[in-house]
Structures are given as C-alpha cells and as structure tokens.
Amino acid sequence: MPSRQHSAGSSDTARLIIVTGVSGSGRASALRVLEDLGLYCVDNLPVALALEVVRLAARNDPNLKGVALGIDARERMFFPQWPRFLAELEHEGIRPEIVFMDASDEVLARRYSESRRPHPMAESGLSVADSIRRERLALAEMRERASRVIDTTTLTVHELRELITAHVVGGEGRGPMSVMLVSFGYKYGVPVGLDLMLDARFIPNPFFIPELRELDGLEPEVRDYVLGQPEARQFLDEIVRLLDFLLPLYQREGKSYLTIGIGCTGGRHRSPALVTEMRDRLKRSGIRVLASHHDVSR
C-alpha cells in the first residue's frame, strides 16, 4: 500500500501549522484559538517527538482539521535541529505553515512588566530589553521562513481571534473574504507576508509639522492633517476601486485572506492614518477587515 502524503492545506490530510514568535506576542493565545477551531495543539514539544505526533494525529483521526505545534525560545534544542526537521517533513510530503507572532519591543517590555513574569531568555543581570533582543536573534531564521507574520502590537484579544480564524478558514479555501491592513515604515523594512503593497510617501509628511511630529497617525490631529490632503483622499478612493475589482476575483479563485500593506517613511504618521481610514471604509462596505500598525510605536 503506498505511503500517505501529507501537505498543509491538502484535502486528504490534516494541516500542520507551526506557531512560533517572540515571548509576550500572543503565541499561547493563538494556540488557544486554533484549539477552539478544532486543531490538535501541542506546545513546546521536543523536536524528536514532533514529527511522530504529526504522523499519529493524522493517522488516528481522519476528521482532524489540523495539527498546531507551538515552538518558542524555551525549546532550545529545536533551533539547531530546525533544518533537519523541515527536511524530514518535506521527505514525508508535509508542507507546514509557519505563523510567527510578533510585537514591538516597547509593547513586549510593557507586557512583561505588567505580568511580572521573568522573560524566558533572561539570565542573571540581563534586562528585559536585552532578553528580547537575544530572543529575536534566536528566532530570526524562523521569522524569515514564516508563511505569515502576525503583529499584535495594536491588536486586542478579540481582533487576534478574528485574524487567526480568518487565516485558518482562508487556508481551507472557504468562508468570506477577509482583509488585513498593515501600516509600516520602509526604513524598517517591508513586513513579511504582504499580498499587495502600496507606497504613501508621496503624501505630505506630518513629521515636518512641529506640533504633529511627536504624535502618531492614530491620533485625530495627525489623521485630520493626512486626510485633509487631496492626494490622500484620492489615493484611498483609488484603493477602494481597486479592491472592488480584485476581491470578487480573488474569492472566486478560492482565496479567502488578503494582506495589504500601506507604507510611508517611518510608519508612524501617514500610513497608520491611511490604514485606519481604509479599515473604516471597508467595514462600512460589509467587508471583514482588521488593521495592524507595524511600526507606529518606534
């Protein structure tokens, strides 16, 4: 009898989703959502057992929606063995989806301060900020390989649940179209996982207005300034027209999840204001939409 082939998103087997990311970014919350959606979830499993768990789960429950493995910096032995693990998955015909959870350093530090829990990378005399930097280095390759990066800097728990649900349902090729809008700064690099990218650097920059410089695009003064520019309003109108054309075509082809990035120089003023306005417009049109601001706190 031929061996069974496993692949993320195929119709005859469970999906494999690897959830990783920096500590405090919402990785455990994402796993809880996946469990509620019917996936078999295991957190911090030793790498030696991970492949066998994937095999057994799919073999023993043909109705299983998927397997989710949570991996973080505490599983130190996973990272040296990561390339071999991926090679073994490929040999088995398994193509995992890697979801990387992230947040700004400032928000991560605040979350740890509020929880009063030690950072998993902390050692004697190492600050939380240094622990975060150390963890980012350890996870850099995982982030590069990620199918999707989810930035929880400005997300509520409810919004994170919506986003994870849209990712899972979208990966199954069913359900209504969901749109994720991401603001970012080109000076910090383009976020991973964008389907469409739009450049807003042609709009006058509030950074050069002294009374607006220290504010961000989520505040009404900056938003009013940005949206008061005729080219900004026309830019948004053209995006809406483009999406009116594209979304039905994407959905017809089975795509249920679209990530759109709008970038400006630093990701602090123009792009957050535009993303917030675009989110509100799409919501009024009945589209399921979420917004994330990648660099607004930098």
Tens of pLDDT, residue by residue over 146-168, are: 888 888 887 888 888 888 887 77
Same domain for 197 and 213? yes
What pLDDT score was predicted for residue 169?
A: 63
Let me know: does 248 contact 232? Beta carbons within 8 Å: no
Let me know: does 98 contact 147? Beta carbons within 8 Å: yes
Same domain for 23 and 126? yes
Q: Does residue 117 belong to any structural domain of this protein?
A: yes
Indicate the pLDDT class of residue 75, thresholds 50, 70 and 90.
low
Calculate the CA 169 to chain-centre distance: 15
What pLDDT score was predicted for residue 203?
A: 98
Give the domain-ending residue among 140, 171, 202.
Answer: 171
Same domain for 46 and 135? yes
In the predicted model, what is the mean pLDDT of residues 1-8?
40
| 181-223 tens-digit pLDDT | 999 999 998 886 788 999 999 999 999 999 999 999 999 999 9
> What is the distance between the alpha carbons of residues 3 and 216, in angstroms, rounded to a whole number?
55
What pLDDT score was predicted for residue 72?
A: 80
The count of structural domains within the chain is 2
Let me know: does 8 contact 95? Beta carbons within 8 Å: yes
| Closest C-alpha to 45, from 75, 20, 15 | 75
What pLDDT score was predicted for residue 48?
A: 73
Q: Does residue 195 belong to any structural domain of this protein?
A: yes
Number of H helices, E strands in the chain: 10, 9
Claim: this prediction has a pTM higher than 0.85: no
Q: Does residue 64 belong to any structural domain of this protein?
A: yes
Q: Does residue 298 belong to any structural domain of this protein?
A: no
Report the range of poorest mean pLDDT among 55-59, 223-227, 236-240, 244-248: 55-59
Same domain for 22 and 160? yes
193 vs 99, higher pLDDT: 99
Same domain for 163 and 182? no
How is residue 142 written in tokens?
Answer: 């995982």
Same domain for 147 and 65? yes
Q: Does residue 8 belong to any structural domain of this protein?
A: no
What pLDDT score was predicted for residue 32?
A: 93
Q: Does residue 2 belong to any structural domain of this protein?
A: no
Same domain for 26 and 164? yes
Report the range of poorest mean pLDDT among 123-127, 147-151, 250-254: 123-127
Same domain for 28 and 157? yes
Tokens 């493995």, residue located: 69
DSSP assignment of 161-181 equals HHHHHHHHHHHTT-SS-EEEE
Give the domain-ending residue among 143, 171, 199.
Answer: 171
∠ CA 276-278-284, rounded to 5°: 105
Same domain for 94 and 110? yes
Q: Identify the top-confidence range among 97-111, 198-212, 250-264.
A: 198-212
Burial code (b: 16+ CB inside 10 Å, e: under 16) for 218-253 equals beeebbebbeeeeebeebbeebeeebeebbeebeee
In the predicted model, what is the mean pLDDT of residues 267-275?
97
What pLDDT score was predicted for residue 216?
A: 96
Same domain for 118 and 87? yes
Residue 147's CATH number: 3.40.50.300
In the predicted model, what is the mean pLDDT of residues 88-114?
85
Residues sharing a CB contact under 8 Å with residue 181, sequence separation 6 or more, in sequence order: 260, 262, 275, 278, 279, 282, 289, 290, 291, 292
Same domain for 155 and 28? yes
What pLDDT score was predicted for residue 14?
A: 60
Q: Does residue 10 belong to any structural domain of this protein?
A: no
Return the percentage of the chain with pLDDT > 90, whole number: 36
Same domain for 47 and 192? no
Q: What domain range is 142 assigned to?
A: 15-171
Give the domain-ending residue among 144, 171, 198.
Answer: 171
Identify residue 139 by its one-letter amino acid code. Answer: L
Q: Does residue 5 belong to any structural domain of this protein?
A: no
| Sequence-ordered alpha helix ranges (H) in the chain | 27-36, 47-60, 82-91, 105-115, 128-138, 140-145, 157-171, 220-227, 230-252, 270-284
